[in-house]
Every structure is written in C-alpha cells, then in structure tokens.
Amino acid sequence: MMELVCPAGTPAALRAAVEAGAHAIYCGFADETNARNFPGLNFSREELAEGVAFAHARGAKVLVAINTFPRAGAEPLWHRALADAETAGADAVILADLGLLAHTAEHHPNLRRHLSVQAAAANPDAINLYAQAFGVRRVVLPRVLSVQEIAAINREIDVETEVFVFGGLCVMAEGRCSLSSYATGRSPNMNGVCSPASHVAYAEEGPELAARLGGFTIHRTPKGAPAPYPTLCKGCFTSAEQTGHIFEDPVSLDATQLIPALARAGVSALKIEGRQRSRAYVAQVVRSFRAAVEAQAAGQPLPESALARLTEGQAATTGAYAKTWR
C-alpha cells in the first residue's frame, strides 16, 4: 500500500491523523526551522516526544520538517532542531538546505533524510545528486511535474518519491519564491511563512471585501462570495486589459482520482498538505485518502472524493499532474 503522509500542526491534529489512518505524520517545531511557522501552531520538544510515542504505539511514523533555509549566523538553531528531532525518536527529518543536509549526514548519519519539496529537485540528475552527496532516501517532488514526468524520474533514481495529493497548491517552484517577502518582508525560505497573517488586512469597502497583503490588494470579493485567504499567487490582478487570476485560481489540489496512475508511476508515498488546518480537516481528509489507498491496493474502484468543501475556493484541480495545467 502506498504510504499516506499526513499533516499535523498541533498534537491534537497528530492524534486525529493517527486515529484516522495515517501511516506517517509530518510536523515541525514551533519556530522558524519549519516552513509552516504560523501563530499558535507546531510542537514543543515535549509535545513532539509525546506525539512520537503516541504514533509509534499505533504503528505510525513521525517525520519532522526542518525545511526552511537556516539564517546566516544562526545555524545552531537549526542544528539543535535536528538533534532534538533525533532524540524525540523521529523516523525521518525533511530537509531542504544543502548546508543542513551536509550537517545531518555528518553528525546524524542514522537519522533518515527526506528531501523537502522546498529543495525543488525536479529531475533525476538533481535527485541523484542529493542521494549521492547526502544519502537522501526519499524525495518530495515539486508540484510542477506531470504524472508522466514523475514516472520517467522514478525510472532513473534509486530513492523513494513522495508527491502531494491534496491541499493548498503552490504554483511556483517551491523553495524558489520570494513573492511573499517582496510584499511583506517575510518568506517561506527565511521565515517559514508565505503571505503571513501578520501582514493581512481585510476591509469591507462598499459591497466588497478587500484583502490586502503588505498593503498590496490581493483580491476584492463581493459580499457572500467564497473568500480566499490572500495568498499572493492566488490573487486577482490586472495586466493590460485583462483582469483575473493571472497565476492561479483560488483552488486547491485534489488528486484522489490519480492515485492509481501515481502508483503505476512508481510513487511510494502520498502527501496531504495542511499543517495549518484544524484537526477536523485532518481527520476528514486522512480518512478519505486512507480509504482511497486501500481501494487502490485492493484493485477496487476509488471512492468519490467528498472533500471539496474543505478546499480553497471550494473547488479542486489536479494541478500540474495534468500537462494542460501549464
């Protein structure tokens, strides 16, 4: 069966994911070492140790994301996170930074290393480089690849691949985007945040709700229409005579129906996005996907996804997995 890798932003979400059938949970420490450094979210050292114990007792793994790029002059903060993840009994760490990968390979050789999507390793040459140089065992593929491309990659590499199947969709190559810091000064790579809430302002202006990020208007929605969070790349903008979602519509990824194709493409693990979401989201999405991977493994038809209302814009796309997305 394909491994189902599920998000947890809080200990409660971790328990919900395990009980809903997650094979593995990924989570991070409550600081800038992880790419979901949101207010009120993430794990203390004690919470991680308890979470690992809870998961292991029920046969699930815990993967710790330490996937921002350490700040120059402050690397010890990231190095401590690695050591503490190992102490807590993490089954793997998810890393993006070259220096941090080198440090882990040298100082924590027995700690399994996964390559974060933030490293944007999008072809066999790059993946093999990470595998050879740092002993990376699994690569989370960037969300810019089609299913055929994923299949071709798997034919040329010896490490496992993990792909996103549900949740928020980055339209840019991850780990290589500074749109957020251009508008707000805070970025995924440096601070673990994208379009941070601290820089979001909503204002009811006449019949519309305006959402601004760092002072830039990201969209205006009529009262009562679905309101996307002002994530910069999903905003509504104007170029010459055209107005619209120039980068991406406010939709999110749902690749449930592609699970058999992804299995044929050699993918080992399916990842659900959403460490910033609630335990209600986690439980519902995990249960739905657990049923889907079980159906796939048994060669049965996949259950219809009923998750649309949890998604942004309440609409879903298969994203780059279909080549026409480009």
Partner 1 sequence: MQTAPPHTRPALPHLPWLLSRAAAPLPLAPVSVMLSALTRKLVQAHPAMLRRLGPHADRHVLIDPTDLPFALLMQPRTAQVRACRRNRLPAHDARIAGPLSAFLAMLHGAEDGDALFFSRDLTIEGDTEAVLALRNAIDDAELDLTETIATAAGPMGPGLRRALARAERISGLALHRMETTGDWP
Partner 2 sequence: MDLTVGPNPFFWTAGAVRGFYAALARAPVARVVIGEWVCSKRLPFWQDEIPQAVETLQAAGKAVALSSLALITLKRERKLTADLAATGLAVEINDLTALHHIPEGTPFWVGPMVNVYNEGTLRWLAGRGATRICLPPELPLESVAVLAQAGREAGVSVEVWGHGRLPLAISGRCYHARLHDRAKDNCQFVCAEDPDGREVDTLDGQKFLVVNGVQTLSQSTASMALQIEALRDAGVAALRLSPQTGDFTGICRGYAAVLAGRKSGAELAAELAGQVPGGRLSDGFLSGPAGAHWSGAAAAG
Please give the span between the terminal C-alpha atoms of the chain, in angstroms, as a whole number.
Answer: 30
Residue 26 structure tokens: 């990924």
Site for partner 1 in 286-315 (CB under 8 A): 287, 305-315
The CB-of-242 to partner 1 minimum distance in angstroms stands at 18
If one asks whether residue 229 binds partner 2 (CB under 8 A), the answer comes out as no
Which CB sits closer to partner 1, 142 or 230? 230
Q: Which helix (H) or strand (E) holds 208?
A: strand 208-213
- Nearest by Cα to 90 from 69, 64, 108, 51: 64
Contacted by 192, from partner 1, partner 2, none: CB < 5 to 8 Å by type: none
The CB-of-120 to partner 2 minimum distance in angstroms stands at 8
If one asks whether residue 254 binds partner 2 (CB under 8 A), the answer comes out as no
By the 10 Å C-beta count (0-12 exposed, 13-18 middle, 19+ buried), 10 is classed as buried
The CB-of-13 to partner 1 minimum distance in angstroms stands at 7
In this chain, which of 19, 123, 160, 260 binds partner 2, going by CB under 8 A?
123
Which CB sits closer to partner 1, 132 or 198? 198
Contacted by 243, from partner 1, partner 2, none: CB < 5 to 8 Å by type: partner 2
If one asks whether residue 281 binds partner 1 (CB under 8 A), the answer comes out as yes
- Nearest by Cα to 261 from 126, 117, 137, 145: 145
Site for partner 2 in 155-184 (CB under 8 A): 171-173, 175-179, 181-184
In this chain, which of 259, 279, 290, 296 binds partner 1, going by CB under 8 A?
279
If one asks whether residue 214 binds partner 2 (CB under 8 A), the answer comes out as yes
Residue with the two structure tokens 């080992």: 268
If one asks whether residue 302 binds partner 2 (CB under 8 A), the answer comes out as no
b/e map 160-190, b = 16+ CB within 10 Å: bbbbbbbbbbbbbebbebebbbebbebbbbb
Strand pairing class (24-27; 61-66): parallel
- Residue type for position 204: E
The CB-of-278 to partner 1 minimum distance in angstroms stands at 5
Whole-number Cα distances in Å, 62 to 18, 51, 261: 10, 8, 26
Site for partner 1 in 204-233 (CB under 8 A): 204, 209, 224-229
Strand pairing class (61-66; 92-95): parallel
Site for partner 2 in 75-94 (CB under 8 A): 75
Contact positions vs partner 1 (CB under 8 A): 9-13, 15-16, 19-20, 38-41, 44, 196-198, 200-204, 209, 224-229, 251, 254, 276-281, 283-284, 287, 305-318, 322, 324-325
